[in-house]
Structure 1
């Protein structure tokens, strides 16, 4: 385990833009600091920290040090008068190019069913895994092809709803910031024609097709073994029987939404594939229409893997209707979206359980001219109001992010990046650069400008996560973890045995430990990576 201690000087360890604002955050009673060029050892800037802010979530008094005057592309470190030093960081015109590539390449490492070769995987390869057919629960005689897609997290389960969220984030990143994805050829399929981000999403979409029940159009909720394998088990060693859990309305709505989205995005590259996506989306939607009152999903007897239970499916139905309307222009989908929007469910959330924000984005991105004016105005006003709330909260926070003390939950870094996504959506619809500045502060937090001074992205930063709860990283006998994985982050609920033993009494933002046994703070998932790709793409475009 990496030693956990508070660091006096915290920075974004991936770096800062030459032209942008540059802040370091200090704890304790700091006054003067200096910026040192690591190549020459010379001091290039001296400054004084501002008045301290008492930051309750972190349990610290936080001072801000501004060094925006340093603009020359180089590698630097910050030191205070007591000899404390920050991790190294770069200043560059576009410092987040490698970060974005790493966050996106992580999805390649999550691939299931194929060999990851040394040419593309480096030392983190493994043999083809999970090639056997899966059994449909309730129909033991029915065996289906289950191969492909992405492993969901630190385990090897595959889940329709969380997978759809991850794909949606990546497709939105491509739609809004296509320039950020130019010129990257890092996958076996890279052909110079279809961008890598779309090639990678296709891996998950191809698997999602297999999750749609033949005949009905409904979508199986998840595909897992009965129990989690041991923490050192490599993917190809996980040979327990696979099971398709029953269909759910939430999974079917997510499937319809992401397939309608994919139909639109892939059409310029592969019309036949786009048509297949749209047909699958329509079939799923027809099932939803025929099943207006479906119970929420719970694990079937004998299945103990992650449940991803969801009692509320109106948000997924809203997303599906809005995406189908955006892609087809069909009035039946517009009518359904208008009716669903009248119902009380979260319309600005981008989490796997509350997908209403994706419906709102689809409706707004379709344009005012195509919309019902009142609904367009209402959704836009609501989105901007939520972004303004996040902005206000960030300005009060010592580490300049939007999380309240109670928001440091299991997967808090997903909230950090989802909130940054929403702020960037507000920038898109309002033109207000303050929202982008605030979103960038959230990225700074993720990359090390936090009370623990840790970069929550493996492989990026001098003090990055080294021991994620991620079976391939534990079992592959490689010292470095698989790179580009976003760790879950602080969880004040202390939901696993390791943190219960080691973190009692810690402030919310300190409830994290870089240990493989801490699944509630240090696991990784595809849908924590995906919003981070979106946010990083904004600052690479």
Structure 2
């Protein structure tokens, strides 16, 4: 466990773009501050903090310092009026280049079924794993190939709904901010033709193909062992039988959506692959049409791995219809989308359970036709209203982010980055500069500008997560954790034993412990990394 460290001010420990907003947050009674060059200690900026304001989520009074006027490249520290210093940070044109590559490289480290050799994995490599065929639950004697894809999280399960969200975030980042992906990570597949982000997404898409039942078009919900292995078990030592859990409507709809989306993105690189994606998406849609009353997924009695259950599947079908319509322009998908849009569910959420936001964004990015202007305008307005709601929360929050006290739950950093995504999406239809500034504050928070002065990305920042709930990081005998992985973050519900034992009475934003046993606060997942990639992509152009 990392010792608690107190710094003068909370800052983004990686840095700030030269022309961007630059802030620091004080919790001490300081009214003046200055910025020094690290090393020379030359003072390059002086300023005054704001008046103190009580921040409900952190339970403390905070003062903001704005030094956006400072625009000279370099490495600096913030110093308060008593001489206390912050962690160092950089001012650069593109301070997030290495972070961006690191967040993407994390998906490579999560690859299943292949050897991660030293050339690309460094000291965090391991042997190939989970290569045996999996048993299909409820169908005795049927075994299928499920090799490939990404391990979902701190465990080694592979889940369709989780994979679909993660790939969607990465594809959106690539489509909207292609200039962010000019550099190679590198990966074994790097070829200077197709961007590495698309090579990495293809690893998961190739696995997802194997999750579709070729007899029906339905999609198996997940591929896992029946129970989680021990926390120190390395991937190649997890030898229990793999099991394909039964087909679910949620997995099938998410599969249809992401495959339809992928077919558009990969069309210019590999038309035959794009065709395959689209055909499999349409086949999955046929299953949905034939099973209109299919509900959410529940674990079979003999399986205790992550359930990814979901009582509402309308949002998944809404997303699938949007992507299929966006790709094919066929009226049957448009009609279905219009019908689902009339039902009540969140249409601007980007979680693995509430995926309506992906349907909305896809439909808006498809653009106007003669017959859809009213619905298009309505969804645009709904997105802008959500961004405005988030902005109002940011204005009240001491750290300038859109999480209220109730939002510090398991995976709060996913909520943080999802909301930053919404703010950045809103900029596509409104040029309001406050959206960009608020999104930047969300990134600053993730990278250390928070009440705990911790960067929630392993390997990035002076004071970053060291003990994630991630089996290879625990079992590989390497001191440093696998880098580039976003930890779940503060969780006021204290849903695991170590949090319950050590964090009772802590404010919501301080309800976090950097401990490997804290699965409810310190686990990593593909869909906590993916929205972070999207947000950093915007600021890495």
The question of a shared fold, defined as TM-score above 0.5 by the shorter chain, is answered with yes
Q: CA offsets, 1:450-493, max 9 Å, x none? A: 00010000111000001100011111111111110000000000
| Corresponding position of 2:194 | 194
Contact preservation (8 Å) 1:221, 1:245: yes
| Corresponding position of 2:238 | 238
| Corresponding position of 2:429 | 429
| Corresponding position of 2:218 | 218
State the secondary structure of the residue aligned to 1:77. strand
State the secondary structure of the residue aligned to 1:390. helix
State the secondary structure of the residue aligned to 2:501. helix
**CA deviation after TM superposition for structure 1 residue 149, in Å:** 0.1
Cα separation, partners in 2 of 1:371 and 1:517, compared to 1, 3 Å: farther
Q: What root-mean-square deviation, in Å, do the aligned CA atoms of Structure 1 and Structure 2 show?
A: 1.0
**CA deviation after TM superposition for structure 1 residue 276, in Å:** 0.2
Counterpart mapping for 1:134-173 below 5 A = 134-173=134-173
| Corresponding position of 1:130 | 130
Cα separation, partners in 2 of 1:461 and 1:481, compared to 1, 3 Å: same
**CA deviation after TM superposition for structure 1 residue 390, in Å:** 0.2
Contact preservation (8 Å) 1:260, 1:323: yes
**CA deviation after TM superposition for structure 1 residue 28, in Å:** 2.1
| Corresponding position of 1:282 | 282
Q: CA offsets, 1:405-461, max 9 Å, x none? A: 000000000000000001100011222222111111100000000000100001110
Counterpart mapping for 1:39-438 below 5 A = 39-369=39-369, 372-438=372-438
What CA distance in whole angstroms lies between the structure 2 residues aligned with 1:12 and 1:100? 15
What CA distance in whole angstroms lies between the structure 2 residues aligned with 1:86 and 1:468? 24
What is the TM-score normalised by the length of structure 2? Answer: 0.99
Contact preservation (8 Å) 2:101, 2:185: no
What CA distance in whole angstroms lies between the structure 2 residues aligned with 1:183 and 1:518? 35
**CA deviation after TM superposition for structure 1 residue 5, in Å:** 5.3
Contact preservation (8 Å) 1:4, 1:514: no
Contact preservation (8 Å) 1:55, 1:398: yes
Contact preservation (8 Å) 2:21, 2:440: no
What CA distance in whole angstroms lies between the structure 1 residues aligned with 2:512 and 2:371? 44
What is the TM-score normalised by the length of structure 1? Answer: 0.99
Q: CA offsets, 1:8-40, max 9 Å, x none? A: 410001100111221100002111212111132
State the secondary structure of the residue aligned to 1:90. strand
Cα separation, partners in 2 of 1:499 and 1:370, compared to 1, 3 Å: farther
Q: CA offsets, 1:172-222, max 9 Å, x none? A: 001101111113251000011111000000000000000001211010111
Contact preservation (8 Å) 1:499, 1:512: yes
| Corresponding position of 1:462 | 462
What CA distance in whole angstroms lies between the structure 1 residues aligned with 2:326 and 2:313? 20
Q: CA offsets, 1:223-272, max 9 Å, x none? A: 11111111111110101111000011000000000000000000000000
What CA distance in whole angstroms lies between the structure 1 residues aligned with 2:231 and 2:370? 51
State the secondary structure of the residue aligned to 2:468. coil
Structure 1 unmatched runs, 5+: none
Cα separation, partners in 2 of 1:454 and 1:278, compared to 1, 3 Å: same
State the secondary structure of the residue aligned to 2:398. coil
Cα separation, partners in 2 of 1:409 and 1:482, compared to 1, 3 Å: same
State the secondary structure of the residue aligned to 1:439. helix
**CA deviation after TM superposition for structure 1 residue 374, in Å:** 1.2
Cα separation, partners in 2 of 1:40 and 1:264, compared to 1, 3 Å: same
Contact preservation (8 Å) 2:31, 2:49: yes
Contact preservation (8 Å) 1:6, 1:451: no
**CA deviation after TM superposition for structure 1 residue 285, in Å:** 0.5
Q: CA offsets, 1:77-113, max 9 Å, x none? A: 1111223211111000111111111101110001000
Contact preservation (8 Å) 1:7, 1:452: no
**CA deviation after TM superposition for structure 1 residue 6, in Å:** 5.4
Contact preservation (8 Å) 1:185, 1:192: no
| Corresponding position of 2:33 | 33
Contact preservation (8 Å) 1:364, 1:379: yes
Segment of structure 1 superposing worse, 18-27 or 74-83: 74-83
What CA distance in whole angstroms lies between the structure 2 residues aligned with 1:439 and 1:80? 26
Contact preservation (8 Å) 1:7, 1:451: no
Cα separation, partners in 2 of 1:494 and 1:368, compared to 1, 3 Å: same
Contact preservation (8 Å) 2:8, 2:79: no
What CA distance in whole angstroms lies between the structure 2 residues aligned with 1:366 and 1:84? 52
**CA deviation after TM superposition for structure 1 residue 302, in Å:** 1.1
Segment of structure 1 superposing worse, 322-331 or 19-28: 19-28
What CA distance in whole angstroms lies between the structure 1 residues aligned with 2:182 and 2:371? 32
What CA distance in whole angstroms lies between the structure 1 residues aligned with 2:171 and 2:235? 27
What CA distance in whole angstroms lies between the structure 1 residues aligned with 2:88 and 2:228? 38
Q: CA offsets, 1:488-539, max 9 Å, x none? A: 0000000000010000000000000001010100000000000000001011
What CA distance in whole angstroms lies between the structure 1 residues aligned with 2:228 and 2:322? 36
Cα separation, partners in 2 of 1:370 and 1:9, compared to 1, 3 Å: farther
Contact preservation (8 Å) 2:295, 2:313: no
What CA distance in whole angstroms lies between the structure 1 residues aligned with 2:52 and 2:457? 28
